[in-house]
Amino acid sequence: MTTVTTTELWCDRCGESATATAHAACASARELEPPRFCPGCRRRMKVQVLPVGWSAICVEHGEVRG
């Protein structure tokens, strides 16, 4: 079994490489919005927004709440 590890992180709002360009608009939007992409694997996450917060689930890395 081969294990692949990556050190590159992804923007959790747009899904693009976090180091390729500045993500000022993404950082600004993330103050009000939940993440849409997993920053570890770039998969689209299942997001649920509730009146008391939000939860985002990646099938590979689990759940994040805010």
* Upper half-sphere CA count for residue 43 (Cβ side, 13 Å): 13
The string of pLDDT tens digits covering residues 20-60 is: 878 888 888 888 899 999 999 999 999 999 999 999 999 99
Residue 6 has pLDDT above 60, yes or no: no
Q: Give which of 49, 41, 43 is closest to 66, Cα–Cα.
A: 49
Q: What is the DSSP string of the chain?
A: ---------B-TTT-SBTTTS--HHHHHHHTTS---B-TTT-PBPEEEEETTEEEEEETTTEEEE-
Query: Is the pTM higher than 0.85?
Result: no
Residue 2 has pLDDT above 50, yes or no: no
Contact call for residues 36 and 11 (beta carbons, < 8 A): no
